[in-house]
Chain A
Amino acid sequence: MNKIFSALTLVLVMLSCKQKAGPVLAAEYLHHEDGMQVITSLINNKNKTISIIYGNQLAAAFAGNVQREHQAGEKYVMVTSDQRPMPHWYGTNMNGAILCVEYATAVVTEEGGVGFDYMRRSGNGKLMTEGVDETSRIRFMTGQPAAVHP
């Protein structure tokens, strides 16, 4: 019976098989920061974006609540991408094109305290300076608790 079924299936496949064009992989949607680890990710359904916040070891220690005060040397990178439906599965959205990459680095201020340098670049690397509330962006990027990684 199995042989008969296999033969019939083979015939049907040969008669109906059409080769579909394969997908084109999008390496440009990937972003990597050497020496940085993931602090957390976030979804924003109002802006239709999806983001990842990375940090160096000092930033990760602060986000993990190991270090209670910010200290010079902390580095944060937030990558924000367009949100798009995941191909082949209705029910999931995923990252698409990178919209912007933000950088916040903790430095010692003239008064001896800790402040942050901030920079924002578009997905193609162009510096973005207009319409950015740096203070609120720094507060947001550097103030998120770390997601739990076992």
Chain B
Amino acid sequence: MKKSGLTVKKKKLVVVFGTILFILAGIQFTSPSIKNPPSTSEIALPADVMAILKRACFDCHSNNSSVEWFDRIAPVSYLVSHDINEGRSRFNFSEWERNPPVVRELLLWEMVNAIEERKMPLQRYLRMHPEAAVSTTELEILKRYVNTLPGRHKVDTMAIARALPDSQIQQLMKAVPVSANGIEYSDDYKNWKIISTTDKYDGGSMRIVYGNDIMVNAIAANKLPFPDGAQIVKVVWGKHLEDSLGNVFPGNFQNVQLMIKDSKRFSSTEGWGFAKFDGLQLKPFGASAIFQTTCINCHRLLAPENDFVFNIPTK
């Protein structure tokens, strides 16, 4: 009886392994191929910075992906292919000039933050490619580099524009600015409470961040995630030159940024709707609602613990 039982078990094992092998062999035919298109405009960086980024980031964020033999075997190849496609779509070091200069700087700061927050390189990538890890010393090299970028020392020296010409004010009063995702501008925020004030020295701006009652009450109750109806408005200015006492005051008004929590309406962006209105004419930013993806990509990567909001007061 015992011998017969073992035989049955062995037969089952053979069937299971055989099935797995069959499936593995089968999916190799559908395994995605990973290609390296030609570089059109590779980023130019100091040698030490370039060496770190090439080792840690280029496999997914450039057209020079160095793929190991085991990366080409399905099902691993599905993950590798997905990560490379996703990485290149976020930013591509081999097609760097496609980004406007301001965006290039922002991406480099985002990169430093993603590494500091241990969100990049991806943990699953590091398990197979431990040599891609960025050390504390290397992170300091990257930080030193981003602090040399032009936006870091940007000073608003222009005379402050305080009002639009009458004709533009009349036009603004006729039609409320509306973002491509349907969010309307409103200056109700001027009656809200301030939840934070910031010196965004990476881009040469300073901000006051207002929260509506729902937002402020949630902060008082230490309630996360924030409830539907919570709203944040960031008012952004350039920075004047520092005076002899060390004071820096707001320069020209740059934009107003809104975040509105509505988990149904904005379900694809973690429940937050984003809008930005530029200049005194409050021109809605973004030709289509796709601009929200850029916003949430960064908030999703770096601030998930804060319900995807950066500017909240935390201990």
**B216 an interface residue at 8 Å Cβ cutoff?**
yes
Which B residues are CB-close (under 8 A) to A90? 109, 112-113, 116, 143, 202
B20 vs chain A, min Cβ distance (A): 15
Tell whether A40 pairs with B249 under 8 Å between CB atoms, given A4-B27, A45-B242.
Answer: yes
A55 vs chain B, min Cβ distance (A): 13
Which B residues are CB-close (under 8 A) to A148? 160-162, 237, 250, 252-253, 280
A93 to B239, CA, bound (A): 14
Instruction: Indicate if the CB atoms of B249 and A86 lie closer than 8 Å.
Output: no
Tell whether A25 pairs with B313 under 8 Å between CB atoms, given A4-B27, A44-B248, A148-B161.
Answer: yes
A147 to B223, CA, bound (A): 32
Which A residues are CB-close (under 8 A) to B143? 90
Instruction: Indicate if the CB atoms of B190 and A24 lie closer than 8 Å.
Output: no
Interface size class, chain A: 35 or more
B: number of interface residues (CB 8 Å): 66
- Secondary structure of the B contact surface, majority rule: mixed
**A43 an interface residue at 8 Å Cβ cutoff?**
yes
Q: Which residues of B contact A (CB under 8 A)?
A: 27, 30, 32, 75, 78-79, 82, 109, 112-113, 116-117, 123-124, 143, 146, 160-162, 187, 190, 193-203, 206, 208, 216, 218-220, 222-224, 235, 237, 239, 242, 245-250, 252-253, 256, 280, 282, 302-303, 305-306, 310-315
Q: Which residues of A contact B (CB under 8 A)?
A: 1, 4-5, 8-9, 12, 16, 20, 22-27, 29-32, 37-38, 40-47, 50-52, 81, 83, 86-96, 144-145, 147-150
